[in-house]
C-alpha cells in the first residue's frame, strides 16, 4: 500500500491542506514541520477507523464539519483510490474511484471490507487495533506494549502476529494431517505391494531390451522392405507409362494401316480410272471423225426438232382458235335464241300489263276481305263467350240471392261470432299451453329420472371419495414414518459400509503382514505380543470376525426394514394424492348438492304445472 496524497479540510490545526507525498514514501512527515500527529490521526481515521478521541474534537474549533481525503495506491490491483471521510454535519465515509468517476464503496461495512482487501489486511485482527498497536503508535509509547504484564502483552502481540490465525489453521490442518498420514500408510502399503509385484523387474527389463532390439531390427527390415516397395512402385509406374505409350502407338499403327489400305484402294481406283481414261482417249482419237459427223448431225437434228416444236405450237394455236371459234358460234346462237325469247316476252308483257294491274287490285281486295272475315269470326266467338258468361253470371246472381236470403235468416247466430271466436282463441291458447305444459311435464319426468340417476352416481362417488380419504388418513401415519425409516436405512447402510470397509482394510493389512510380522519393520510386532496374540494375522482375523459378527445384525435389520419402508413409501405415494382426493370429494359433494337442488326445483316446477293443468277446461269444450 502506498499513500500518494492527503487532503485535510477544517481539521484541527489545518483549515485546508493538500499534501502530496513522493512515490515510495514510507513515513508521514509533518507539513511545514508541524501537524505530524494530526496527519497520522487523519490517516488512521480515514483508512483504519482509528481515532483516540471523538470526531467532534477532531474538527477544527469554530467549524461545524471537517473532511479528510487520503489517496492511496491499491496493493491488490495497483490502481489509485481516494478514501473520503467527513465528520460533523452530514457525516459520510466512502471510497472514490477517479478513473471510473464513481464510488467503489459507500457504507461503513463495505468501506471496511474494501480497505481490508486493498490494504492487504489479512487475518481476523481489527483494522483500528492494527493501526493503534502497530502502524500509528505515538513516538512516546513505542515501548509501552513491552512493559505490559505477560498476559496482556501476549494478547496484544498474538493479535498483531496473527498467532490465533495460525493456531486455527493448524487445528484445521489436523484432519488434513491425519488424512495425509492415512494416505502415506496406503502409499507405503502400495509401494510394498508394487515391490513384490516388480521383483522380476530386472528380467522384465532384459526382455524389454531384447524386444526393443527385435523391434529395431524389424524396423530396419521394414524400412528396407519399404524402400524396395517404393522402388518397385516407381518401376511399376514406369512400365505402366510404357504400356500406355505402346497402346497409343498400336492404335496409331492400326489407324495408319487402315489409312494406307484406304490410300491403296484409292490409288488402285485412280490407276483404273487412268487406264479407262487412256482407253477412252484412244477410242476418242479413233472416233474423232465420226464424232464430228455426229455433232453435225446433232446440230441439224436440233434445228429440225426446233422447227417441229414450232410447227406443233402453231398447230395447237390453230386448234385452240378453232375451238374458240366454235364456242363463239355457239354463244352467238344462244344469244340469238335468248334475244328472240326476250322479244316475245316483251310483247307478252305489253299484252298482259292491263291484266296484271287488275290482278294486283283483286289481290288487294282479297286481302282486305280476308281481314274482315277474320275480325267477323273473332267477334262472333267473343259474342258467344259473352253469352256464356252472361248465363253463368245470371246463375251465380241467383245463387247469391238465395245465399243472401239464407244469411239474413241466420243473422242472430252471426251476431254471436265475435264471442265464439274469442272463446275459440282462448280454448286454442289453453290447448296450446296444455300441450306445451304436458310436454314440459314429460321432459321434467325424464329429467327427474336422469337427475336421480346422476344423483345416485354422485352420491356413490362422494361415498367412494370419503372412503378414500379415510384410507389416506389411515395411511398418513405410515407416510409420516418415511423420513425416519429412510434415515434409519441410510444410517444402517452407512454402518454396514463402514464395517465392510474396515473388514476390507483388515484383510488388506493381513495380506501385507504375511507371516505375522510388521509390514514396515519386517519383525514380530511387540504390541501384538503384549496383547497375548501370536501374530498380526491372528489379530486381524479376530478383528475381521468381530466386524463380520456386527455386519450380520445390520443385514437382518436392513432386511426387516425394507418391507416397512416399502409399505411406508407406498402409503406416502398415495398420501401425496390427498389434495386430489379432497378435491374429488368436494367436487362429488358439490355435484350431489347441485343435483339435489336441481331435483327439488324440478319437483316444484312439476307441481306448479300439474296445478295449472287442473285449472284448464276439458278437451270437449274446444270441439
DSSP for 440-506, please give it: HHHHHHHHHHHHHHHHHHHHHHHHHHHHHHHHHHHHHHHHTTHHHHHHHHHHHHHHHHHHHHHHHHH
Phi, psi of 122, rounded to the nearest 5 degrees: -100, 165
Q: Is residue 99 within 8 Å of residue 79, measured between CB atoms?
A: yes
Burial 505-532 (b: 16+ CB within 10 A, else e): ebeebbebbeebbebeeeeebeebeeee
Residue 305 is predicted with a pLDDT of: 79
Indicate whether 27 pLDDT > 50.
no
SS3 516: coil
Residue 283 is predicted with a pLDDT of: 79
pLDDT (average), residues 346-369: 74
Question: Cα separation of 310 and 473, whole Å?
Answer: 142
Residue 155 is predicted with a pLDDT of: 60
pLDDT tens for each residue of 293-352: 777 777 877 777 788 788 778 778 777 777 777 777 777 777 677 777 766 766 776 777
Compare 536 and 216 and report the one with higher pLDDT: 216
Angle formed at CA 502 by CA 498 and CA 504, multiple of 5 degrees:
115
Q: What is the mean pLDDT of the chain?
A: 77
- 134-138, 256-260, 389-393: least confident range: 134-138
State how far Cα 80 lies from the chain centre. Answer: 49
Residue with cell 496374540: 533
- Rank 65-69, 274-278, 567-571 by mean pLDDT and report only the highest: 65-69
Compare 407 and 188 and report the one with higher pLDDT: 188
133: its cell numbers: 498497536
pLDDT (average), residues 63-80: 89
pLDDT (average), residues 92-114: 90
pLDDT (average), residues 66-73: 91
**Cα→Cα distances 72→1, 46, 69, 424, 557, Å:** 7, 11, 10, 115, 68
Q: Which residues have CB under 8 Å from 40's CB, separation 6+?
A: 28, 136
Indicate whether 620 pLDDT > 70.
no
Residue 26 is predicted with a pLDDT of: 38
pLDDT tens for each residue of 523-535: 555 555 566 655 6
% of the chain exceeding 70 in pLDDT: 80
pLDDT (average), residues 417-430: 75
pLDDT tens for each residue of 456-486: 888 888 888 788 777 767 666 666 777 787 7
Compare 187 and 123 and report the one with higher pLDDT: 187
Indicate whether 502 pLDDT > 60.
yes
Question: Cα separation of 397 and 116, whole Å?
Answer: 134
% of the chain exceeding 90 in pLDDT: 3
pLDDT tens for each residue of 562-575: 887 787 777 677 66
Neighbouring C-beta atoms of residue 621, cutoff 10 Å: 13
Residue 81 is predicted with a pLDDT of: 92
Residue 523 is predicted with a pLDDT of: 56
pLDDT (average), residues 396-408: 79
Say what angle helices 482-512 and 163-197 make with each other, to 10 degrees: 60
Amino acid at each position: 500500500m502506498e499513500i500518494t496524497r492527503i487532503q485535510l479540510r477544517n481539521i484541527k490545526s489545518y483549515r485546508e491542506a493538500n499534501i502530496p507525498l513522493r512515490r515510495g514514501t514510507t513515513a508521514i512527515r509533518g507539513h511545514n514541520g508541524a501537524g505530524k500527529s494530526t496527519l497520522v490521526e487523519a490517516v488512521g481515521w480515514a483508512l483504519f477507523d482509528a481515532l483516540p478521541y471523538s470526531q467532534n474534537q477532531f474538527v477544527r474549533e469554530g467549524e461545524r464539519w471537517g473532511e479528510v481525503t487520503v489517496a492511496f495506491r491499491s496493493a491488490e490491483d495497483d490502481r489509485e483510490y481516494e478514501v473520503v471521510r467527513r465528520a460533523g454535519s452530514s457525516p459520510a465515509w466512502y471510497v472514490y474511484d477517479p478513473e471510473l468517476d464513481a464510488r467503489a464503496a459507500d457504507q461503513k461495512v463495505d468501506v471496511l471490507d474494501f480497505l481490508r482487501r486493498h490494504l492487504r489486511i489479512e487475518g481476523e485482527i481489527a483494522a483500528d487495533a492494527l493501526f493503534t498497536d502497530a502502524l500509528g503508535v505515538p513516538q512516546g509509547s513505542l515501548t509501552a506494549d513491552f512493559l505490559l504484564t505477560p498476559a496482556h502483552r501476549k494478547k496484544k502481540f498474538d493479535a498483531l502476529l496473527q498467532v490465533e490465525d495460525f493456531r486455527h489453521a493448524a487445528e484445521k490442518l489436523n484432519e488434513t494431517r491425519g488424512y495425509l498420514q492415512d494416505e502415506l500408510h496406503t502409499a507405503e502399503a502400495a509401494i510394498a505391494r508394487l515391490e513384490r509385484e516388480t521383483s522380476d523387474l530386472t528380467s522384465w527389463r532384459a526382455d524389454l531390451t531384447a524386444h526393443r532390439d527385435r523391434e529395431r531390427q524389424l524396423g530396419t527390415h521394414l524400412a528396407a522392405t519399404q524402400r524396395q516397395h517404393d522402388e518397385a512402385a516407381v518401376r511399376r509406374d514406369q512400365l505402366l507409362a510404357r504400356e500406355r505409350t505402346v497402346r497409343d502407338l498400336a492404335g496409331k499403327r492400326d489407324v495408319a494401316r487402315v489409312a494406307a489400305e484406304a490410300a491403296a484402294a484409292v490409288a488402285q481406283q485412280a490407276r483404273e480410272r487412268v487406264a479407262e481414261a487412256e482407253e477412252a482417249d484412244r477410242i476418242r482419237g479413233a472416233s474423232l471423225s465420226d464424232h464430228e459427223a455426229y455433232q453435225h448431225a446433232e446440230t441439224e437434228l436440233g434445228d429440225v426438232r426446233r422447227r417441229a416444236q414450232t410447227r406443233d405450237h402453231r398447230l395447237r394455236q390453230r386448234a385452240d382458235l378453232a375451238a374458240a371459234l366454235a364456242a363463239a358460234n355457239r354463244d352467238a346462237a344462244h344469244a340469238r335464241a335468248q334475244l328472240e325469247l326476250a322479244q316475245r316476252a316483251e310483247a307478252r308483257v305489253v299484252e298482259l300489263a292491263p291484266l296484271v294491274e287488275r290482278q294486283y287490285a283483286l289481290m288487294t281486295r282479297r286481302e282486305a276481305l280476308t281481314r274482315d272475315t277474320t275480325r267477323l269470326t273473332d267477334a262472333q266467338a267473343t259474342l258467344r263467350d259473352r253469352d256464356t258468361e252472361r248465363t253463368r253470371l245470371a246463375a251465380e246472381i241467383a245463387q247469391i240471392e238465395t245465399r243472401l236470403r239464407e244469411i239474413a235468416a241466420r243473422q242472430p247466430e252471426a251476431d254471436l261470432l265475435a264471442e265464439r271466436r274469442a272463446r275459440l282463441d282462448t280454448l286454442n291458447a289453453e290447448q296450446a299451453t296444455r300441450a306445451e305444459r304436458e310436454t314440459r311435464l314429460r321432459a321434467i319426468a325424464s329429467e327427474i329420472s336422469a337427475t336421480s340417476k346422476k344423483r345416485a352416481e354422485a352420491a356413490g362417488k362422494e361415498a367412494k371419495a370419503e372412503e378414500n380419504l379415510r384410507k389416506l388418513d389411515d395411511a398418513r401415519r405410515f407416510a409420516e414414518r418415511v423420513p425416519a425409516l429412510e434415515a434409519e436405512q441410510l444410517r444402517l447402510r452407512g454402518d454396514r459400509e463402514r464395517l465392510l470397509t474396515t473388514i476390507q482394510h483388515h484383510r488388506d493389512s493381513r495380506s501385507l503382514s504375511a507371516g505375522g510380522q510388521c509390514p514396515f519393520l519386517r519383525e514380530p510386532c511387540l504390541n501384538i505380543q503384549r496383547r497375548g496374540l501370536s501374530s498380526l494375522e491372528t489379530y486381524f482375523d479376530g478383528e475381521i470376525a468381530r466386524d463380520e459378527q456386527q455386519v450380520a445384525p445390520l443385514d437382518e435389520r436392513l432386511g426387516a426394514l425394507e418391507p416397512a419402508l416399502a409399505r411406508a413409501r407406498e402409503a406416502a405415494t398415495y398420501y401425496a394424492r390427498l389434495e386430489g382426493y379432497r378435491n374429488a370429494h368436494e367436487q362429488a359433494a358439490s355435484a350431489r348438492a347441485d343435483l339435489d337442488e336441481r331435483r327439488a326445483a324440478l319437483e316444484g316446477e312439476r307441481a306448479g304445472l300439474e296445478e295449472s293443468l287442473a285449472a284448464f277446461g276439458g278437451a270437449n269444450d274446444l270441439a
